[in-house]
Amino acid sequence: MLEHLNAAATSPTRVVIIGAGGFVGGAIRKRLLADRINTLPLTRKELDLLAEGAGAKLADVLRSDDSVVMVSAVAPAKTVPVVMQNLRMAESVCVALASTPIAHLLYISSDAVYADDANPVTESSCCAPSTLHGMMHAARELMLRSASAAPVAVLRPTLIYGAADPHGGYGPNRFRRQAEKGEPITIFGEGEERRDHILVDDVAALAVLILAHRSRGALNAVTGFSTSFHDVARMVAAQFGDRVPVKSMPRPGPRPHLLHRFFDITNCHKTFPAFRFTPLAEGLAQAHRESRGAS
């Protein structure tokens, strides 16, 4: 659960986004710009966290009144070398935080930190990741919390979708791309796994609210509604006039023991009472429009 150090929303003096060139970082940057908040976006071009001396370089950039968003990651972290890369990136940020005080740190983590059977998931659920990706985020959360003298907020998004997503991960983004290419949308098995899907703009909006309230603690970026991949595929297919078939494919591995994940979003209602999530149908329609507009 988050605790607000600013009871009323207050614009941060400056927000430094580490990883501003990515899908989520870009959305946060866009939202901050729309809200006219002074922003210093750092992409890999300006700051390669894996480069020698990256920590010192970042320290030179940071100011004591900065709010910092750490969203840079090599994802998904499916192998040990990629996990270690991600930890070294976080280490660079820790080096900078150790030498330069800041006002606030927001780390964009993942719901993969939770145990698979933690239904319904809340911010108090047991963090016991079953994947390297989840363990990587859990370790980075701890590293950054340990290194930062400033208040730290952790935002843990579930499956994120949006037109600009560069990843082809299983879910709305892949389904849309398949449909755009005129290919059938493929789901594993019957696609019965029910998951929570959140629009990237909602993640960005929550991030900006956290920055404005200088919150500390943890919050899940989830909608509270879980939908099966089958239903998501049908919704995407419908955007193409149902010309696109949804086909079942053999699962790449054994059927997962836990098919569903649900979230209890009471804490979000308590933390940001006026925040409204974009319903999945509305968000998919928006992603569809934006994707069409971009092509």
Question: Could you list the residues that contact other proteins (CB under 8 A)?
Answer: 120, 122, 124, 224-225, 227, 264-266, 269-270, 273-274, 276-277, 279-281
Task: Count Cβ atoms within 10 A of the Cβ of residue 52 and give its class: 0-12 exposed, 13-18 middle, 19 or more buried.
Answer: exposed
Q: How far is the CB of 266 from other proteins (least distance, A)?
A: 3
Nearest to 107 by CA among 67, 53, 47, 163: 67
Residue number with CB closer to other proteins (170 or 262): 262
Distance CA 242, CA 234 (A): 8
Q: Which residues partner with 69 through β-bridges?
A: 17, 106
What residues contact 8, with CB distance under 8 A and at least 6 apart? none
**Residue pair 113/141 in contact by the 8 Å Cβ criterion:** yes
Residue number with CB closer to other proteins (13 or 124): 124
Q: How far is the CB of 14 from other proteins (least distance, A)?
A: 28
Distance CA 46, CA 27 (A): 18
Residue number with CB closer to other proteins (166 or 273): 273
**Residue pair 30/6 in contact by the 8 Å Cβ criterion:** no
Q: Is the dihedral of CA 114, 224, 190, 233 positive or negative?
A: negative
Residue number with CB closer to other proteins (225 or 240): 225
Residue number with CB closer to other proteins (66 or 201): 201
Residue number with CB closer to other proteins (259 or 281): 281
Residue 76 Rama label (left phi>0; alpha psi -120 to 50; beta):
beta
Question: What would the two tokens of residue 109 be?
Answer: 């983590």
Q: How far is the CB of 192 from other proteins (least distance, A)?
A: 16
Distance CA 236, CA 226 (A): 16
Q: How far is the CB of 270 from other proteins (least distance, A)?
A: 5
Q: How far is the CB of 40 from other proteins (least distance, A)?
A: 32
Q: How far is the CB of 175 from other proteins (least distance, A)?
A: 17
Q: How far is the CB of 208 from other proteins (least distance, A)?
A: 18
- Whats the size of the chain, residue-wise? 295
Q: Which segments within 109-158 are labelled E, that is strand?
A: 152-157
Residue number with CB closer to other proteins (150 or 225): 225
